[in-house]
Every structure is written in C-alpha cells, then in structure tokens.
Amino acid sequence: MQINDQATRAFSHQDYTPAQRIEGVEIAELKRFNDDGGAITELGRLTAGMHAELAGFEVKQVNYSEVEPGAVKAYHLHHRQTDVWYVPPHDKLLLVLHDCRKGSPSEGRTMRFVLGDGRNRLVRIPPGVAHGTKNLAASMGRIIYMVDVQFSPTPGECDEGRLPWDFLGAEIWDVVKG
C-alpha cells in the first residue's frame, strides 16, 4: 500500500527512545497493592531517616503540595537540597528538569516526563537541577515530596531559589501533539 504525495511529505515516525538522563536523577518504581476495598502504595521504608530505595538520602521533612488545573509551578532550584517527588496515580503532572550544575556531565540537559497517570514512582531531584511542574489534569494535582534539608524562610538560610517559568521557553509546557 502506498500513501499519496502530500501524506508522504508530512510522514514521520515517533521517537520512542528514552530521553537522555540527567546525572543523579533517579526514578524508583513503586508497588501498589490493590484489593476489593482499595489500594496502598508504600512511599518508602525509613531507618533513622534513611530511605531504603534511595541510597544516601536522609529524609528531614515531608511536604504536600497542590497544583490547580493548568497551572505551571516553575522553576525551583536548590544549592543543597535533594527533592524526592511522588504524584498519586490518579493525578497527571508534567515534570520538567534542567541540569544547571556547572561542570556536570549532563550540564544543560533537560528531562520532560509525566508523573502520576496510572503509575507509582518516586523521582530524586538532586541539588542544582531546576524543576517545575504543570498540572495536565482537569482536577487538582497533588505532590507529596521528601527533602533532606529542612525549609527555612530566613534570608541566608533559605535554600530555595527561583528561575522564571519560561526559562526554557514557554513551549516546554505545551502538550505534545501528534
């Protein structure tokens, strides 16, 4: 079977190869246990604050965040703090990561992927990796995240900084069509 000239000129294959990783970003698949009354997902086993699935990560604080439908919350950047994000499987958030670490093997690399959307995963975001999210769903999006540095709003102690939401271009937040 042949396709016409117009379709031939526009035809392409979708690229399914995994995106190149940012050094230090880890994704841990979690197990969800279901029964006829509901489900449970274990977010982590801690021994003296150390997370069993994420070597060297000591949990110092656990936070909960909500993102309005269509909202973009970006970009956060930390000098010392590691974030570990979890988005419940019924939510759907686009996560964009960008390596801002000078001299990193993956300096300047960007990762873009969906959290939630039926999957249970933890994502470790190391210091120096800018991160932001967009809620792709029609309902409130939720993030549960663990950090290894306790938050302080005091100038000189605060480890959280910001980059503009469009630091990588406004189109980074567009839903890919096709």
Task: Give me the residue label for tokens 């950090």.
Answer: 147
Cα–Cα dist 173/71, whole Å: 10
CATH of the domain at 27: 2.60.120.10
- Candidates 6, 164, 147, 157; CA nearest to 84 is 147
Tokens for 105? 């093997």
Any domain includes 88: yes
Dihedral, CA of residue 80, residue 133, residue 53 and residue 108, to nearest 10: -60
Give pLDDT tens digits along the chain (178 positions).
888 889 888 888 877 887 789 999 999 999 889 899 998 999 999 999 999 999 999 999 999 999 999 999 999 999 999 999 999 999 999 999 999 999 999 999 999 999 999 999 999 999 999 999 999 999 999 999 999 999 999 988 889 999 999 999 999 999 988 7
Any domain includes 11: no
Any domain includes 140: yes
Any domain includes 5: no
pTM greater than the 0.75 cutoff: yes
Task: Give me the residue label for tokens 């021994």.
Answer: 47
Any domain includes 153: yes
Count: domains in the chain:
1
Any domain includes 7: no
